[in-house]
Chains A and B, each alone.
Chain A
């Protein structure tokens, strides 16, 4: 088994994921308000913020699940074209929901998504992913019979099945017990291999900061603080609350 190598993001590389002036409105409510971001290959951005800050909407915009009301998202300099589908092969999304079918087994779910993504060697990829996530013994169990932690791991396997170079994670730690969180932490650490660009939304301050190369704090649809992890000093929890209260 290869040991994951943590490399810092290549600052000089062209941005893999970019957004400019991103706005999403739901009627009169502005969920995402003029967000700009630019992430290079290997960068791991963790976004923190209170409930209703617009984090999930921002992730959905970056994933192409939502159309922006204004602004634009680019993948490797190419604007997202909703009429095309090929760029979706490069993105993996882990949402609040697992996107899994309860009446299909763990293996069948992964094979289904593998075929949708046009993987050439689906059976081997599925077997490898189940093994990597420690689910090989439950491969034939129906998803509805799995525990929440197992489903979350399976959802992560689905997210990474097609080896995306952009990974978007929405609250991956929600509802996990400490041992399941530890497994997840290991898998997320593996994502810092310098090949992928990761954006993660979480309330878990310590784990979120530990994994990040960049950190953003979001409130009322805007980034109220954004910087490199190296710029953070002292107690991040206290810093986070000070920033949120300052922009409350």
Chain B
């Protein structure tokens, strides 16, 4: 078990180090998030619509699209010089590889998701300080579910001729429950409602995240083995 966790840690650390040096994904996702928030700000008629009514939906859709940009490139750097094949030929269980890649994606996307909240607070004047802790947990659970599904289906789409084009088609139908429960809980917190009213949505998000990681770990080897 210790060796298993060490192997996950090794791949996770390598992914973080490579991203820290290239900043390829974080910069792309960060720039996307800021630009989307600016566009939404100008595209919304604030006389007719109040920010609280639409903010949770916009926050979650921005996280989903930014996530697609980042998660879609999970295996691009690995493809350079066939490095992913090198990992597959090492004595690391395929589920450990999946967990490491998904956790690395979680770190990147969670940073971006918090940036999304900050940017929307700035442009939409949202007040989240009272429930920020719970909001961070809800977003964390949604991001966990997203990266588990995203990592698995990116591995599927990377091996096809359609590549990145195929990824949204595969993943969006499966993300519907994440968006539904994520926006549900976020709306409650943005409206200043108590935790008990969002409890059901949080439990559902946790269950989806758990199931996505379990299925991803189980199915990843069938996707990457030739």
Spell out A's residues near B (CB within 8 Å). 60, 63-67, 82, 85-89, 91, 93, 95-104, 108, 112-113, 115-118, 143, 158
Q: In the bound complex, do residue A116 and residue B92 qualify as a contact, i.e. CB atoms below 8 Å apart?
A: yes
B180: CB under 8 A from chain A? no
Contacts A82-B225, A97-B83, A117-B90 known; 15 new A-B pairs at CB < 8 A: A63-B89, A64-B89, A67-B226, A85-B91, A88-B89, A91-B89, A93-B89, A95-B82, A99-B81, A100-B86, A101-B81, A103-B17, A103-B77, A113-B86, A116-B87
Interface residue tally for chain B (C-beta within 8 Å): 26
Would you list 16 pairs from A and B whose C-beta atoms are within 8 A, ordered by A residue? A67-B226, A85-B90, A95-B85, A97-B82, A97-B83, A97-B85, A98-B82, A99-B86, A103-B18, A104-B14, A112-B10, A113-B90, A116-B87, A118-B3, A118-B6, A118-B7
The listed residue (B10, B21, B86) touching A158 by CB distance below 8 A is: B86
- Specify the chain A residue showing the minimal Cβ separation from B97: A116
Chain B residue numbers with a CB within 8 Å of A82 are: 225
Residues of B within 8 A of A (CB): 3, 6-7, 10-11, 14, 17-18, 21-22, 77, 80-83, 85-93, 225-226
CB of B10 within 8 A of CB of A115, answer yes
Q: Is the CB of A115 within 8 A of B6?
A: yes
CA distance A102 to B14 in the complex (A): 12
Interface centre among B11, B18, B80, B225 (most CB of A within 10 A): B80
From A82, which residue of chain B is reached at the shortest CB distance? B225
A100 touches which of B21, B81, B88 (Cβ 8 Å): B81
Bound state CA distance, A248 and B83, in angstroms? 35
Q: Are B226 and A104 in contact (CB under 8 A)?
A: no
Q: A85-B92, A104-B17 are in contact. Are A67 and B7 (CB under 8 A)?
A: no
